[in-house]
Amino acid sequence: MKLGRIQGKVWATVKDPKLNNCTLYILQPVDEDENPIGMAQVAVDTVSSREGDLVYWVGGAEATFPFPDRQIPSDVTIVGLVDRLDLRKQ
C-alpha cells in the first residue's frame, strides 16, 4: 500500500460492465513529504474520496478484492482516506 494525492477525475462512459458505479480518479503516488513517486495512475475509488484528498491505495491483485461479491478489473484501488499523518521528526 502507498500514499497518493487525488489530482483529478476520469470520465469513461464505455468501460467494462464490472466497473459500473465505480469512480475513477487520477492518482499521483506521493511520499510522506508529498514528493511524487513515479507516474500518476488511474485508480478505482471505494471510500467516497474527493479530488485533492490524501489517500492510501493498494496495487496488484489485491486491488481487485475490495468488494466481497464481485471482482473489479483494477490494479490500483483507493482503500482509505488519510485524516492525519503522524510523522517522526528526523
Nearer to other proteins, 16 or 32 (CB): 32
Nearer to other proteins, 28 or 49 (CB): 49
CA 70 from centre of chain: 18
Three-class secondary structure of residue 58 per DSSP: strand
22 binds other proteins (CB under 8 A): no
Which residue in 13, 20, 21, 48 binds other proteins (CB under 8 A)?
Answer: 48
61 binds other proteins (CB under 8 A): yes
63 binds other proteins (CB under 8 A): yes
- What residues form DSSP beta bridges with 74? none
**Do 76 and 44 form a contact (C-beta atoms < 8 A)?**
yes
37 binds other proteins (CB under 8 A): yes
Three-class secondary structure of residue 30 per DSSP: strand
